Structure formats: structure tokens, C-alpha cells
């Protein structure tokens, strides 16, 4: 390669980086200007910068500390493979975007073996093409847009609960492990984008029932969630619908609270089963078997980060017997003495702080009165988080994996705890 060609390639690379910086900066400035309050502007600026830094740090963590091994590297490499097959006319455009079969062997493209991974890889292969294959540019984009969705939800929720704004911002934006592991070139970034995008659209629609334009992003977010983390919408949709209904319905006021709780749980079971049976994992009747298989595979490949559960021959008995420990693990572990490296120690300290705050909030909650909306959303968060924390902990008995998976539910537990503490503080004034 001649010196001129090398300089041209370098110039083209610099122009590409400049273009992406300009695009992200433009989007940032537009949203920054629409943020009315000065304090909110500072929070948005800090959080956006933090998310981008987290996306870059995740790349360095996997490329350097883990030696180029890990999910994010695999996703990137498979996205590259898929795009190169399209670029080299090995597959058609319709096959690339998903309108027709790929007709590739597993040896040629292994990501298609697992549907959720295949969906995510296909999505980021478009980002690969747009960013010209730069891993860190792709990571920054996913982190930034994941952060935008989170900010949009937190900002709207803060407008609905002005006295709780600081608690909302801390819980959703600045819990270290959650902010970090919802960034980068990982499925959790896309999942976070979808969950909070859904939350934002629901809040906007709730404020104006006649504006059906928000039904479109709701459907898109649910579709993406179903494809990338199917268990989240299976649990989330019935709980979200019931919480919206019970917190707003006046005709339920004539019933005692215990009766309403029984009705809520009955409808939740019916709705949850209806949602679950739409997915092959559940309608095949192999749910408990597949949880056990996932547990055993991950346990065999884990060492210091393994989570130990009691072993039984029967899959259903294994699930039931370990359910309490799985719930406790998903919410409160690792404990400080269970940490196995510097990263897990930081996470354990964070969980220790959370545990102390839970104990304080639980004690103070008996001294406060909660309105109907607060009660039902609190119940909804507890049920949603309990289901996900229990099943995910049992199916993935590895602390290194669990720290990423808990991004789906831990922000809402932090939200519940911090809002309870803040309510008590406000009531004292």
C-alpha cells in the first residue's frame, strides 16, 4: 500500500469518526434543549456521558481484561460475518434483513443456532454497516440510545411524581452495576432500550388516552423484548396491564383490599399463563426441564462465580425447593464475603447498601400511609422482580452472568426502596 493510499484510508476513517460524533452530538443537543429545568439538564448531560463511558469501558473490559473472549466479542464477530455475507453477495438483502431464510450452515454462521442471539446479531449487523465495522462506535451508539430511553422514562416519571424526582433519577440512572451492564454491545442494552421505551410510551399515552400514536412504539418495544428477552414481556405485560387497571379503577373501591389482592393475583395467573403459552418454552411443557438444563450447563462451566443450589432428581421439585434461595440470591446476593474479584466486591458492596436500605424502608413503611396508586405499583414491582429474580437466578447459577441479567428488574426495586425512603423524608417536613 502506497503512502497516499494509507493517508486516504486514514482520512476516510477520521471523517467517519467525525460524522458519528456530529450525529450523536446533534441528537444530544436537541434533547438537551427540550429539557426545561437546569438541574435536569445537568442530570441528562452527566448520565449521557456516563453511559457512553460505560459502553467504551465494557469494550476495553472484554477486549483487554478478558482477552477478547465473551458475549460482546462474539456478537460483534457474528454481526461482521453476517454483513460480509451480504456484502459479498453470499446472501440477499431480504435474507440479511430477515424477510427470507439465510440458507447458511451453522459452521458458516453459528448465531442462528439460538433465536435470541440471532435476532440481536441481525440488529447490530445493520449498526455494523452504518459504523463501518468499528466496535467502539457500535458500542457507543447502543449505550447512548439505551441511555436516551432510560432518561426519557425517568424524566417523564419525574414529571408525574415531582416530589420523588431525585429518588427516580438515582434509582434509574446512577446505580453503578445497572448503568454499567445496560451499556455496550450487549443484549441488555437493547433490552433496556425496549423496557424504558415501553415505559415512556405508556406514560405519554396514559397522560393522553386519545393520542394513539404511542401505540406504535409500545408494539415495537414489546416485539423487540419478545425477540431478545422473551421472559421479560411474559412477566411484564400482565403485571403492567393489571397495575394500570387497578390503580385507576374506581369501582373496585367497594371491595376490601384483601379481595382486591385475590382478584389481582387470579387475573395475573390467568394472564401470565396466557402470555407464557404463546412461547415454545412454555407450551412445550418443558419449562422446569429447560430451567434445570440451563442450570446444569452453566454450573458445569462455572468455577469461583458459581451459585450453589440444592440438587434433586425431579425437575419440578428442584425448582420449588430452591425457589426461596433463588429469590434471595437474585435480590440480595452476592454478599461481601462471596466476592471473588475486584468487580464482584464492588457489586457486593452495592448489594450490601441495597440490603440495608431495604430493611430501613421496610420498617418505615409501617409508619406511613400509601394511596391506591402507590400500593398497586409497589405490589406490581415486588411481583415482577420476585418472579424474574427467582427464575433467572435458578436458570443461571453464575454471579458473573446474573449481574447482567438483573438489569431487567433491579432498577425497579431500587426505585421502590428509594421512593419509600423519600416519601418518609417528605412527610417529616
Q: Does 330 lie in the same domain as 205? A: no
Q: Does 234 lie in the same domain as 207? A: no
Three-state secondary structure call for residue 313 = coil
d(CA 26, CA 149): 16
Confidence band, pLDDT 50/70/90 cuts, at residue 280:
confident
Strand positions, DSSP E, 277-364: none
Q: Which of 194, 229, 264 is the last residue of a domain?
A: 229
Asked if residue 198 belongs to a domain, the reply is yes
Spatial CA neighbour of 184 closest among 83, 19, 72: 72
Q: Does 304 lie in the same domain as 335? A: yes
Is the pLDDT at 7 greater than 80? The verdict is no
Q: Does 291 lie in the same domain as 425? A: yes
What are all long-range contacts of 423-427, with beta carbons under 8 Å and residues at least 24 apart? 423/163, 423/164, 423/368, 423/370, 423/374, 424/364, 424/367, 424/368, 426/163, 427/368
d(CA 66, CA 60): 9
Asked if residue 29 belongs to a domain, the reply is no
User: Over pLDDT 70: what percentage of the chain?
Assistant: 95
The segment with the largest mean pLDDT, out of 13-17, 106-110, 184-188, is 184-188
Q: How many separate domains does the chain show?
A: 2
Q: Does 206 lie in the same domain as 239? A: no
pLDDT tens string 34-60: 876 778 899 999 999 999 999 999 999
Q: Does 209 lie in the same domain as 352? A: no
**Kind plus residue range of the DSSP H or E element containing 140:** helix 135-160
Asked if residue 2 belongs to a domain, the reply is no
Asked if residue 27 belongs to a domain, the reply is no
Give residue 2's pLDDT: 54
Asked if residue 9 belongs to a domain, the reply is no
Give residue 18's pLDDT: 77
What does the DSSP assignment read for 240-296?
A: HHHHHHHHH-SGGGGS-HHHHHHHHHHHHHHHHHHHHTTSHHHHTT-HHHHHHHHHH
297: containing domain: 230-429
All residues at 6 or more sequence positions from 131 whose CB lies less than 8 Å from its CB, including other chains = 16, 20, 137, 138, 141
Asked if residue 19 belongs to a domain, the reply is no
Q: Does 136 lie in the same domain as 109? A: yes
Q: Does 417 lie in the same domain as 330? A: yes
Q: Does 294 lie in the same domain as 171? A: no
Is the pLDDT at 337 greater than 50? The verdict is yes
Confidence band, pLDDT 50/70/90 cuts, at residue 412:
very high
Q: Does 162 lie in the same domain as 302? A: no
pLDDT tens string 415-424: 999 999 999 8
Q: Which of 229, 256, 290 is the last residue of a domain?
A: 229
Give residue 9's pLDDT: 46
Confidence band, pLDDT 50/70/90 cuts, at residue 344:
confident
Q: How far is CA 362 from the centre of its chain?
A: 26
Query: What's the mean pLDDT in 214-227?
Result: 91
Instruction: Indicate the DSSP class of residue 306.
Output: B
Give residue 64's pLDDT: 84
Q: Does 178 lie in the same domain as 289? A: no
Asked if residue 54 belongs to a domain, the reply is yes
What is the reported pTM? 0.92
Q: In angstroms, how far is the first alpha carbon of the chain from the final one?
A: 72
Is the pLDDT at 8 greater than 50? The verdict is no
Q: Does 217 lie in the same domain as 235? A: no
pLDDT tens string 158-207: 988 888 999 999 999 999 999 999 999 999 999 999 999 999 999 988 87
Asked if residue 271 belongs to a domain, the reply is yes
Give residue 24's pLDDT: 87
Mean residue pLDDT across the chain? 88
Spatial CA neighbour of 225 closest among 199, 264, 246: 199
Q: Which of 171, 194, 229 is the last residue of a domain?
A: 229
Query: What's the mean pLDDT in 102-106?
Result: 86
Is the pLDDT at 374 greater than 60? The verdict is yes
Amino acid at each position: 500500500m502506497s503512502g497516499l493510499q494509507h493517508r486516504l484510508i486514514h482520512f476516510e476513517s477520521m471523517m467517519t469518526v467525525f460524522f458519528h460524533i456530529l450525529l450523536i452530538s446533534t441528537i444530544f443537543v436537541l434533547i438537551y434543549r427540550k429539557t426545561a429545568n437546569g438541574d435536569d439538564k445537568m442530570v441528562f448531560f452527566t448520565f449521557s456521558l456516563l453511559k457512553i463511558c460505560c459502553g467504551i469501558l465494557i469494550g476495553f473490559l472484554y477486549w483487554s481484561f478478558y482477552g477478547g473472549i465473551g458475549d460482546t466479542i462474539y456478537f460483534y464477530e457474528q454481526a461482521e460475518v453476517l454483513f460480509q455475507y451480504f456484502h459479498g453477495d453470499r446472501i440477499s438483502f431480504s435474507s440479511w434483513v430477515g424477510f427470507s431464510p439465510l440458507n447458511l450452515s451453522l459452521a458458516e454462521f453459528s448465531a442462528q443456532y439460538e433465536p435470541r442471539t440471532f435476532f440481536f446479531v441481525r440488529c447490530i449487523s445493520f449498526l455494523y454497516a452504518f459504523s463501518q465495522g468499528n466496535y467502539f462506535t457500535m458500542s457507543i451508539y447502543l449505550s447512548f440510545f439505551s441511555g436516551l430511553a432510560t432518561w426519557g422514562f425517568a424524566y417523564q416519571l419525574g414529571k408525574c411524581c415531582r416530589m420523588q424526582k431525585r429518588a427516580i433519577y438515582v434509582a434509574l440512572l446512577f446505580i453503578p452495576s445497572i448503568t454499567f451492564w445496560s451499556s455496550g454491545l450487549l443484549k441488555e442494552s437493547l433490552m433496556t432500550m425496549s423496557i424504558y421505551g415501553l415505559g415512556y410510551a405508556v406514560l405519554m399515552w396514559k397522560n393522553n388516552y386519545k393520542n394513539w400514536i404511542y401505540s406504535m412504539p409500545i408494539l415495537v418495544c414489546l416485539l423487540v423484548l419478545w425477540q431478545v428477552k422473551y421472559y421479560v414481556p411474559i412477566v411484564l405485560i400482565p403485571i403492567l396491564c393489571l397495575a394500570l387497571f387497578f390503580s385507576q379503577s374506581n369501582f373496585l373501591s367497594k371491595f376490601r383490599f384483601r379481595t382486591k389482592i385475590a382478584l389481582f393475583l387470579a387475573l395475573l395467573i390467568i394472564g401470565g399463563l396466557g402470555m407464557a403459552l404463546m412461547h415454545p418454552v412454555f407450551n412445550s411443557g418443558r419449562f422446569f426441564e429447560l430451567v434445570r438444563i440451563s442450570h446444569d450447563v452453566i454450573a458445569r462451566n462455572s468455577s469461583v462465580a458459581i451459585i450453589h443450589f440444592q440438587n434433586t432428581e425431579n425437575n419440578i421439585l428442584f425448582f420449588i425447593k430452591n425457589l426461596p434461595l433463588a429469590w434471595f440470591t437474585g435480590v440480595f446476593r452476592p454478599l461481601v464475603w462471596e466476592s471473588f474479584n475486584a468487580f464482584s466486591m464492588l457489586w457486593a458492596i452495592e448489594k450490601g447498601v441495597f440490603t440495608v436500605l431495604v430493611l430501613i424502608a421496610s420498617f418505615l413503611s409501617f409508619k406511613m400511609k400509601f394511596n391506591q396508586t402507590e400500593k398497586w405499583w409497589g405490589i406490581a414491582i415486588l411481583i415482577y422482580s420476585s418472579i424474574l429474580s427467582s427464575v433467572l437466578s435458578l436458570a443461571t447459577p453464575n454471579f458473573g452472568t446474573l449481574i447482567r441479567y438483573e438489569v431487567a428488574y433491579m432498577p425497579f426495586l431500587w426505585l421502590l426502596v428509594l421512593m419509600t425512603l423519600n416519601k418518609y423524608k417528605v412527610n417529616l417536613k
